[in-house]
A and B are shown apart, each in its own frame.
Chain A
């Protein structure tokens, strides 16, 4: 929480300056009724020249104009600065959290913290603060002047004002609750539409269009009903405020009018009094609202605090040791994603020794543990201590940046960012030259296709840009890893969406690149790994077979069955 307090207190200077400006505006505004009162009394006394009064009002208005501008800039500006810092801090924290955290937390929840919660805090720091600071000047001054005009009038007139605060406080809560219900019903409606569109094939196949309409009618009606429930309170709110503030004026008219007729209060003071009263109404309402805004802000701050308190699991070693080469050794590795009972290990008893500069192929069915093994080397997930070594050092003892920079990792799902193709390829080396980018693309067998796009390498991909095919994305992701010129290459079946012939061409091109680098190739097609120095076959998280392609293809087992099928497929294609 310390970090949060720091963020909140950082702009105390601005808040103080804003408060001073706000106070000046309040005082200037509060003087206007006095000028008006004086003018009216002068009129009653027969002095018709009000040029001075007019000029005074304009002068006060100029002061108010300048300082209103300033307090908005200072106070609201401070709240936006706090918002900016909070969000930046949260993002920095996100960057340090490991893959396991993102596996367990829904993106939607994280987004909600980063948007709704931060917004609630901002509102409390901006609007909330103003509504507390403003009455600090407004109420004592107004009430003071009103009391000096007439004590009895004041007592009667401010009678309904606390009711305003209470109305706001209670109504504010009920309105907030019902508003949440409306939001819920709104989300339910969205979800209903989403569900029906997603399940449209089933609905159409079973001819359920009309039934779905009936079903939707209920959700639709609920939304309308929830809205009306909100309106029943919310619709009452504004008129009620008007009624109560009107009541204070009616009381003033009655009591104050009598005082004027009896000569106890001047007409000018009566008019000024009415104006002070109307000036008090907004701060009294806002005060009630501020309580709610602060409560929500505090709850949101709490949630952000919980998120910030999540400790990054994968951390830098305290005393990093440099890698001596890139030999990869795995000893008695057993790994499970969760330590909870009943979660079977994803990998069991893995032993492996990969000499520097050699290539290892990994083959196995879906779910056999191939990807898990690949993820443990760059510490996307942490292997148990002492089980995975690179260059003679436990991967957990190598500095994270050194380890990961040494490894060119191409994951199965080729995630690309919304950016140009060139930017995506240069992701790991943003200052790479165009020639280097193109060379990497050429190696990955995607250059010609990129060049054929209207904007070439400057083509934007992602949600707002061109959507690449699965195979194109995969090859861009390969180019991204190749550009790093890594000492170690890990390919997690990155050509699954490319047809077999092209995969072979690309891999043939890459053979030279792999030369001298320690490489791990995971593939579902045997043809992709058959030239590896060694191939292991994984099944159920264990190594069930190992050897060179010729040996494995010669003996009975999973490897040979896959090989036979893939050859048959190829024959069919060729026919």
Chain B
């Protein structure tokens, strides 16, 4: 019995005051709205509580007759009793004090039949009595009749006598309808306000997470899967919203309802209430047990489903291997095993619900039976009115739902706590260092690497003692085999990663001394794998900046990206599926236009290696030449023309600069560059490399 409790603690604390405080901070701007929601919720719960009173009033006031006969030795000490002779008195039991009624109950003095009393001085009533003498028993000052007697009257006479009750019922029905409308209006208002608040809170959370993520250093992204960040900003936020909109508010409602119902039933009949409350621990225990089991069953189902989906996904990805190794039967067996485990988990969940839901219904019925058994005699003795008994039954049935809700709210709370912990851990990640406060209007464009050592992970040097200089306006080509560290040089220049040893200088100052935004905004990069964002062509040229359209178009024309104007919607053409509809060359031209639009002093290029048709190739070459004009450019070069026209060529191998010089010098040296040149650029009919000019 105690294990589930420990289980909770292992699974994560259900309540952590520090996390809760941080979460509530997001609610602070909307506290007034939230307060209104809570108030509305309580009003609604009040209406809920009042509803059984309508039928109680109808039954007690209008649908049953008010008088009873008590047989006593002496006139009753209180209440306006009417002596009928033989020690019998006509009284209204509802007006008799409790203590006295209890005394009559013990002696059996109070009769169970109820009567209507029609006084002589009511003219309409006495004329009905006169017309139907067989239905009435004359008493001093009027006549009495039982419900059965009344039913024998002609309808018009009955309506005359019971007109008040009929009107009372009609008024009650109208009042009830009015209460329903109020409940409807308040409920709608409450849901809207609450959801609105929840949506605002989620909006703020997503905004803050997104803002923070964009400012994290690149090293963070290297070690964090994209999917995890997506989950933080979406699913985890939704789990917290659950807490605010469903759990927190319902907590007020359910607590209010439970307390309200208990108070009301004590008012109605405290002994009966005590009997029902004796069942309460049983209800709470059942709800608690149910909650624990339902949760662990649910977790098991989720776990098995995740396993199943993972296996399925892996099978689809690895289908070639399964088929190549003729392991279809084996894979099918494994899948059947997992599928069966999922089915078993489902069945366990069904069992849990199949036991507890009906059990709760049973307990509810049991409570009703108890009320009938104990309350019945009480009604006869007059201690409990018939209306009160039916109301009591309704309240007892109402009691179960909030108890179950409260126990289920615990799950929501726990999930929200877990999500908030993950979110806050992300928000606590240190942001990228924004650099020094050096704001330079315009770089001259001198780039220098001085004995730079760099490793992504400690000890695994990617760049080893790299030194080179690019004078303002100079063009430097970097060549070398894959994995030599070419791309890393670009990343370091943009200060995406801090270096371990050495210095990177721009215009003679270390890059760390510049304001990060100022530094990057003076450089532009064109990557081989052009990353296009969802949006139109214009968005992809100017990104999210406020560069005017004309300037963007000018940039596109400058790089001869004429194809844009031939697109169906020109610059407003949607870029679909990350640019899959555009050719490699077109994407490349777009990224050139992007770089030109930002008008950088230093241009960094990672040339595309993919083969491009000769026309596009020609366009790209001349565009490239144009955009590098007058700018310091550092190019990871694959094309002969780019390399040949460079002022300087660096040959990078295993993180070191192994050769440096102009094309002619390096070919003459007969080293690695010469061999590379031989393979890729000597005139062969086909192959990956393009022929250039």
Contacts and interface: CB of A to CB of B under 8 A. Distances in A.
User: A-B pairs with the 7 shortest C-beta distances?
Assistant: A211-B544, A46-B112, A263-B151, A48-B380, A568-B675, A50-B376, A61-B365
A111 B313 contact: yes
B315 A94 contact: yes
Interface in B299-344: 308-310, 312-328, 330-332, 335-336, 339-340, 342-343
B674 A568 contact: yes
A196 B533 CA distance: 8
Contacts of B214: 196, 200, 203, 209, 212-213
A572 B672 contact: yes
Contact of B365 (A58, A212, A213): A58
Contact of A220 (B207, B227, B320): B207
A186 to B, nearest CB: 6
Interface stretch (B23-31, B79-87, B196-204): B196-204
Contacts of A247: 177, 180
Nearest to A557: B684
A186 B598 CA distance: 33
A564 interface: yes
B312 A114 contact: yes
B203 A221 contact: yes
Contacts of A366: 688
Given A44-B147, A261-B165, A564-B678, A69 B203 contact: no
A47 B3 CA distance: 50
A428 interface: yes
Interface in B612-650: none
A569 B545 contact: no
Interface string B641-678: 00000000000011000100000000000011011101
Most interface-central of A199, A232, A262, A411 (chain B CB within 10 A):
A262
A80 B343 contact: yes
A281 B521 CA distance: 66
A235 B358 contact: no
A562 B147 contact: no
Contacts of B375: 50
Interface stretch (A83-91, A292-300, A512-520): A83-91
Contact of B180 (A192, A195, A232, A243): A243
A102 B199 CA distance: 40
Interface string B351-384: 1011101110110011011101101111111000
Contact of A568 (B170, B368, B390, B672): B672
Interface of B: 54-55, 58-59, 62-64, 111-114, 147-148, 150-151, 155, 158-159, 162, 165-166, 169-170, 172-173, 176-177, 180-181, 183-184, 187-188, 191-192, 195-196, 199-200, 202-203, 206-207, 210-211, 213-215, 218, 221, 226-227, 229-230, 233-234, 308-310, 312-328, 330-332, 335-336, 339-340, 342-343, 346-347, 350-351, 353-355, 357-359, 361-362, 365-366, 368-370, 372-373, 375-381, 386, 389-390, 393, 481, 491, 494, 496, 517, 520-521, 523-525, 527, 531, 533-534, 543-546, 594, 598, 653-654, 658, 671-672, 674-676, 678-679, 682, 684, 686-688
A484 B227 CA distance: 37
Contacts of A466: none
A189 interface: yes
B300 to A, nearest CB: 14
A193 B224 CA distance: 14
- Central interface residue in B187, B324, B545, by most chain A CB within 10 Å: B324
A299 to B, nearest CB: 21
B481 A569 contact: yes
B319 A206 contact: no
A88 B335 contact: yes
Contacts of B312: 91, 111, 114
Contact of B325 (A65, A99, A484, A567): A484
B533 A199 contact: yes
A243 B180 CA distance: 6
A238 B375 CA distance: 34
A395 B323 CA distance: 15
Contacts of B531: 198-199, 201-202
A45 B481 CA distance: 102
A110 B309 CA distance: 11
Contacts of B598: 206
Contacts, number: 408
Interface in A28-82: 32, 36, 39-40, 42-51, 53-55, 57-58, 60-62, 64-65, 68-69, 72-73, 76-77, 80-81
Contacts of A151: none
Given A197-B226, A243-B180, A262-B151, A209 B215 contact: yes
A206 B520 contact: yes
B335 A239 contact: no
Contacts of A77: 347, 350
A410 B573 CA distance: 44
A337 interface: no
Contacts of B543: 202-203, 206, 208, 211
Interface in A270-312: 270-271, 274
Interface stretch (A250-258, A317-325, A351-359): A250-258
B180 A53 contact: no
Contacts of B202: 224
B172 A253 contact: yes
A213 B62 CA distance: 66
A202 B314 contact: no
B63 A261 contact: yes
Given A84-B340, A246-B180, A235 B195 contact: yes
Contacts of B527: 201-202
8 contacts: A39-B376, A91-B315, A195-B533, A201-B496, A211-B545, A214-B544, A267-B63, A430-B330
B379 A48 contact: yes
Contacts of A99: 319-320, 323
A46 B390 contact: no
Contacts of B150: 263
Interface of A: 32, 36, 39-40, 42-51, 53-55, 57-58, 60-62, 64-65, 68-69, 72-73, 76-77, 80-81, 83-84, 87-88, 91-92, 94-99, 102, 107, 110-111, 114-115, 186, 189-217, 220-221, 223-224, 227-228, 231-232, 235-236, 238-240, 242-243, 246-247, 249-251, 253-254, 257-258, 260-264, 267, 270-271, 274, 365-367, 378, 380, 400-401, 404-405, 407, 409, 411, 415, 417-418, 427-428, 430, 462-463, 480, 484, 539-540, 558, 561-562, 564-565, 567-569, 571-573, 575
A250 B173 CA distance: 5
Contacts of B322: 95
A97 B322 CA distance: 11
A205 B682 CA distance: 36
A91 to B, nearest CB: 5
A310 B575 CA distance: 32
Given A91-B332, A208-B543, A228-B196, A367 B372 contact: no
B544 A212 contact: yes
B313 A48 contact: no
B192 A235 contact: yes
A236 B187 CA distance: 8
Given A61-B365, A91-B335, A463-B310, 18 more contacts: A36-B393, A44-B386, A72-B354, A76-B350, A88-B339, A193-B230, A195-B533, A197-B229, A206-B524, A213-B211, A216-B206, A224-B200, A231-B196, A235-B188, A242-B187, A262-B159, A271-B390, A558-B684
Nearest to B542: A211
B369 A55 contact: yes
Nearest to A203: B214
B521 A207 contact: yes
A128 B627 CA distance: 65
Contacts of B111: 46
A181 B561 CA distance: 37
Contacts of A415: 317-318, 320-321
Given A64-B361, A257-B172, A228 B195 contact: yes
A259 to B, nearest CB: 10
